[in-house]
Structure 1
Amino acid sequence: MSPDLALGTYRCRDIPQAAGHAVACGASWIDTAPNYHHGSAQTRLQPVLAGNRDVRVSTKVGFFTPDIAAAARDAGVLTSAEAASGHCLTHRYVAWQSRRNATELGRAPDIVFVHNPERAAQPHDAIADAFTALEVEARAGRIGGYGTAAWTGFEGAFSVADLLDIAIRCGGRGHHLVAVQLPVSLVMLKPVAQALDGNGPLAEATAAGLDTFVSAPLHGGELPAMVTDELRELIDPGATPAEAALRVTASTPGVDHVILGSGHAQRRRDAQRVLGLPPLPDKTLHEVIDVLGA
């Protein structure tokens, strides 16, 4: 089954327009965070979400803007030291931010991701604190479920097995851990190599029945300029550099959703077409890894 093309709002300049184009092109997921677009991403999404109730939305807890820090400090959920850090996963802050997310979105988010817990001094403890708070929110119906969105976290700070163990400790066998998010691209190739060998976060998440969201497939828009003609020919001779990069990400075993930041209608249609193509043979993916290294 082909992965779904989701909209990511991290780098969107005009979020309502991008979301409108994405929905018109068939996007069923939008990914955001309270710190995106200088703290305004969620409120900018609210009209689009209100008019498209079938579109699902994921957001995050962890990072915050100075304005959010001031509000959280005034509410007594961040200390001055925590507010100055720019990132916090304490129980009291996660619960407060989760409810604030719902208010800004105008609806209960389908997934709340714990954002880059590898930043914490003790990642496992931070994840447990956040999961405990999010279990309460999920059981109250204020969120659909929760997950972990990492950048480098799955490279040694924690594994999917660790997340499942923590979720069971925090919520029992009926826990609400439902998804993981991580970067997979020609720049971040290790998850591809692992997935081809049947291990790593994508394989482990799939085996556990968790949804997998892949971020930064074009590495913030930098990848197309980095794809050489030789690499493009190896991947797909008829593709553009951006399409070749997307094909590798979309062909990686275990990928359910690819988060793309572009809201340009034609680019999304092109990306949707690429995601609908048959996956590249494992042999081709192995050759790409041999050329670029994992």
Structure 2
Amino acid sequence: MTLLGLGTYRSRDVVTSATIAAAAGCPLIDTAPAYGKGTHQAALAPVLKEHPRVRIATKVGHMTAGQARAALLSGVLTEGEAAARHSIAPAYVRYQVGMSRVELQRPLLDLVYLHNPDHHTGDRQGLHARIREAFTALEEARAEGLLLGYGVATWSGFRDGAFTVPDLARLAEEAAGSPNTGLTAVQLPVSMVEIDPIRQALTGTGPIPAARVAGWEVWGSAPLHGGELPARITDHLADYIATGTDPVRAALLVATSTPGLSGVLLSTANTNHWRQAAATVTGQRLPPLRLKDICDLLQPVT
């Protein structure tokens, strides 16, 4: 069964969104230090305290200008990393894991993603070396009891060939010095706009089936493409996807019907909207052949 998690990237009222989601049984809240201009993690802490069973996924990578200055003064960033406002260097990984534990008031973090590690420019080999070093820091944090697992959240890394699931598995094993690693999840966009992961999953290829074979969770981000997608879905297209449905439900139905997907991340501060989304996510799926027809319609094979 596909799960519905709360994504907080675009949340305007993260406390209300998290309170609604947690009360409705949401299993996971996804956040990051830079979300909400750096305010979301601290704002989420009281909600997480009230709902200790809700898993929390945070990230290391992007940072606000203020966070960059603080990290630079702490000696865990170089001038260049602070200027870029992104780092997965081991010193910063360790620093940000500690900061997130304080802000979220969770001594044990459920999941820590490297946030768009492919954001760095440079050659593929150099990128893999940086990921391996970051994984080493995360393995050390796991050994110290600071986090349960880690992963990679990317917008374009799989699509652009920056890395594959086997690449990440190999780098984690090298970091851990063992096949027993803490790499447990990946996150990538899955939607009617980002259709390739769906098309690939239908043929047993691409990152989603590979990650599931590895035993990892696979979370789909931006199923509504940042809220822009419903306005681009005509009533005729929505009805083609599922008779009598509306654009929001049609978009969610396409994403959540993707084979192998563990869950999707959605944000809303409206109780009814959350309930409707949850009913769609946990409800009936589009059959694979029907989903393939929709993929072909949205992105014909050339």
TM-score range, shorter chain: over 0.9
Q: What is the CA distance between 1:228 and its match in structure 2?
A: 1.7
- What is the rounded CA distance, in whole Å, between the counterparts of 1:238 and 1:230 in structure 2? 10
Counterparts of 2:44 and 2:267, CA distance in 1: 14
What are structure 2's unaligned runs of at least 5 residues? Answer: none
* 30-39 vs 282-291, which moves further: 282-291
- 1:241 corresponds in structure 2 to 247
**Correspondences of 1:67-146 after superposition (within 5 Å):** 67-107=66-106, 108-120=108-120, 121=122, 122-146=126-150
Partner of 2:270: 264
Distance 2:16 2:296 in 1: 40
Match of 2:201 among 195, 206, 211: 195
In structure 1, the residue corresponding to 2:72 is in which secondary structure?
Answer: helix
| Correspondence 1:3 to 2:8 | no
Write the letter of the residue equivalent to 1:3.
T
- 1:1-294 alignment, distance < 5 Å: 2-107=1-106, 108-120=108-120, 121=122, 122-155=126-159, 156-171=161-176, 172-293=178-299
Encode CA deviations 1:102-121: one digit per residue, 9 max, x unaligned: 11000022000000011122
Tell me how far 1:98 sits from its aligned partner: 1.0
Compute the RMSD of aligned alpha carbons: 0.9
Secondary structure of 2:284's partner?
Answer: coil
- SS class of match (1:180): strand
Partner letter of residue 111 of structure 2?
A: I
CA distance in 2, matches of 1:4, 1:12: 19
Q: Percent identity?
A: 44
> How many aligned positions are there?
293
3-state SS of 1:60 partner: strand
Determine helix, strand or coil for the equivalent of 1:165. helix
Q: Structure 1 residues 201-210 or 225-234, which shifts more?
A: 225-234
Contact map agreement 2:239 2:246 (CA 8 A) in 1: no
How far does residue 230 in structure 1 lie from its aligned partner after superposition? Answer: 2.6
In 2, are the aligned partners of 1:65 and 1:86 still within 8 Å (CA)? Answer: yes
**What SS does structure 1 have at the residue aligned with 2:109?**
coil
Structure 1 segments unaligned to the other structure (5+ residues): none
The one-letter code sitting in structure 2 at the alignment partner of 1:170 is: A
SS at match of 1:95: helix
Q: Matched residues in 2 for 1:204 and 1:261: separation?
A: 27
- How far is the alpha carbon of 1:58 from its aligned partner? 0.1
Amino acid at match of 1:50: K
Mapped partners of 1:252, 1:240: distance in 2 = 19
The SS at the match of 1:144 is strand
Distance apart, 1:74 and its partner CA: 0.8
